[in-house]
Structures are given as structure tokens and as C-alpha cells.
Amino acid sequence: MHIRMDWKNVSFDWNRARAFLVTAEEGSLSAAARALGLAQPTLGRQVEALQEELGVTLFERAGRGMQLTPAGHAMIEHARAMGEAAGRLSNVAFGQNDTMEGPVTISASDAYAGLLLPPIIEKMTEAEPRITVNVVVSNTASDLLRREADIAIRNFRPEEPDLIARKIRDAEARMFASPDYAASLGPIQSKDDFAKARFVGLDRTGQFLGMLQQMGYPISEANVPVHTENFLVMWALVKRGMGIGMIDSVIGDADPGVVRLWEDEPTLGFPIWLVAHRDLHQNRRLRFVWDFLADALR
């Protein structure tokens, strides 16, 4: 049956425990306030009230920020446990949430976010107007674990056990250039014809160049006069005739401002994965976006 429990020891204000936790982790009341979306005096008063309520001094002012006292150190691990349980609660709640109204955050590389997703998102919001879409530009998988994003589009299979992934297709990167620049190069018959071509590089570390060299292109640093780490910048440069760029053929083919350079070129293959957190994947809204993206990206 139901054992009569005693709730005296949990009847203190739990939000004050949250204030304590975040202040300790962030190191200052101001940072905690920013992290929680509250005002700094609010956090200060909550921590103050908790100290008053428990009769314990938790922090000492330390010039820059707040320093935990020994008593605070003895208590922070339990506040952390509360926070972790709260996070799990929130995750499960999100998974159980079966309303179509609300936000979904999609994480993708800048190329996908800027070139491929916009029309997809437009169709999706037409189909489900109550869904609000946020797009985050990122290339790491960790933002899913931290719940900075709900669904990620990645080019690798994530290893983390808490994540689930679905392979959409194998994409291939091909060479594109503006029609003008392609014409100035003349007809391409073999790799040797690239000896005098200009490329728009994708990083400063030379990986892009090395990759092409490995594929047998007779090019050196002189062939890559401009670099960027941003696909969208690269693409804009390519479209302005600054050189050749390599990008997912789906993106290049869909862009009327560029042409394929060479039909028979060796392509650079890479997979496209959809990734989500295991706990959140049941969410109805998320499932809808997941299925929509899987269908549209195929």
C-alpha cells in the first residue's frame, strides 16, 4: 500500500536549489541569470533566500564572481543530482509531448542550412504551420546531447550511444563553376586540364588541396588562391567566377548560376545522416520533421 511519506525535507523552494546549482556552475550570479533567462537580482535573492532557509552560507563574494564555501561544496553534488534528474525529466517530457505546436531546432552545416534547407523548411511549415523551426549552423554532434538542437544533419555516423541516426543517402561532391569561368577554361577532357585552373579552397589547413592531389589532379597551392571555411562564402565566390568549387551535386545541379565542369570526373562520396537524441525521438512534432527531412533530402 501507500507508505505515508514525510515531505518536510523536500518542501524547501526547489527553484532556489536551481539558482544555487547554476550559480555554482557558472561562477557568478550574472552568468547564472543569463543562463536561466532571469535577472541577476532575482538569482541573488534566490541564493540569499536559500542560505537563509537552510541556515548555511553557500557562497563568498570573490571579487569576480562567487566562490563556494566548504558548506557549499558539501551540498553542490546533491544540487547537481537534482539538475541531472531535472534534465532527464525534461527530456522525457519532450518525448511525451504530442502537440504539433512548438519549436523544432535543426542543426546543419552552413551549406545545407543555407542552400538545401530553406525550400524544404518552407514546404514543411506550409504543411504544419504550428511548428516553429529554428536552424542552428553547427558541425558537431554534441549539440544534440546538450539539447541545443533536436535534429542534426551530419556527414558522419555519430558514435554516441544516446543518439540515433538514419542514413539518408550517399551524396557525391562534384566540381562546379560559373558558366563564364567554365567557358574560360575551355573543354575539359582529363585531369591534366586542371593544371591551370583556379579552385576556391574550403579550409586553410591544406586538406582540400591534399584531397584533390590524392585523387590525381595535377595542382598545387598556386591553384587555390582563395580559401574559406564557410561553404556559403565559397559558393558565392564560385558563382562570381572566382574558381572551381566542390559541393554536393544535388546543391550544384539545383543552382542555375553554376554548371558542372566535367561529367566523368571522379566524385568525392560522403553519406548524409539524420541524427537525434534517443530520448526525444518519440516526440510527435520531432517525428514529423524527421520524416519530412528524410523524405525531402533523399
Nearer Cβ to DNA (46/138): 46
β 163-177/226-227 pair status: unpaired
Nearer Cβ to a second copy (143/193): 143
Cα separation of 149 and 143, whole Å? Answer: 6
Q: 77, exposed or middle or buried, with CB in 10 Å at 0-12, 13-18, 19+?
A: exposed
Site membership for a second copy, residue 103 (CB under 8 A): no
| Amino acid letter, 260 | R
Crossing angle (nearest 10°) for helices 117-127 and 284-297 = 130
Number of H helices, E strands in the chain: 12, 11
Written as nine digits, the cell of 79 is 544540487
Site membership for DNA, residue 4 (CB under 7 A): no
Written as nine digits, the cell of 13 is 523552494
Applying CB under 8 A, among 148, 172, 253, 255 the residue interacting with a second copy is 148
Residue 30 binding target from a second copy, DNA, none, CB below 5 to 8 Å by type: DNA
How many CB atoms sit inside 10 A of residue 244's CB?
24
Binders in 21-80 for DNA, by CB under 7 A? 27-31, 37-42, 44-46, 48-49, 61, 63-66
Applying CB under 8 A, among 28, 59, 66, 94 the residue interacting with a second copy is 94
Nearer Cβ to DNA (64/298): 64
Site membership for a second copy, residue 17 (CB under 8 A): yes
Q: Which residues contact 24 (CB under 8 A, 6 or more apart)?
A: 58, 59, 66, 68, 72, 76, 79
Site membership for a second copy, residue 160 (CB under 8 A): no
| Phi, psi of 107, rounded to the nearest 5 degrees | -105, 135
Site membership for DNA, residue 97 (CB under 7 A): no
Closest to 259 measured CA to CA, from 184, 169, 170, 155: 184
Applying CB under 7 A, among 15, 97, 230, 267 the residue interacting with DNA is 15
154 beta partners: 273
Site membership for a second copy, residue 12 (CB under 8 A): yes
Site membership for a second copy, residue 55 (CB under 8 A): yes
Q: Which one of 16-24, 110-118, 161-169, 208-216 is the stretch in contact with a second copy (CB under 8 A)?
A: 16-24
Site membership for a second copy, residue 90 (CB under 8 A): yes
Task: Give the count of residues interacting with DNA (CB under 7 A).
Answer: 22
Binding site for DNA (CB under 7 A): 15, 27-31, 37-42, 44-46, 48-49, 61, 63-66
**Binding residues for a second copy (CB under 8 A):** 2, 5-15, 17-18, 21-22, 25-27, 35-37, 54-56, 71, 74-75, 78-79, 81-99, 101-102, 146-148
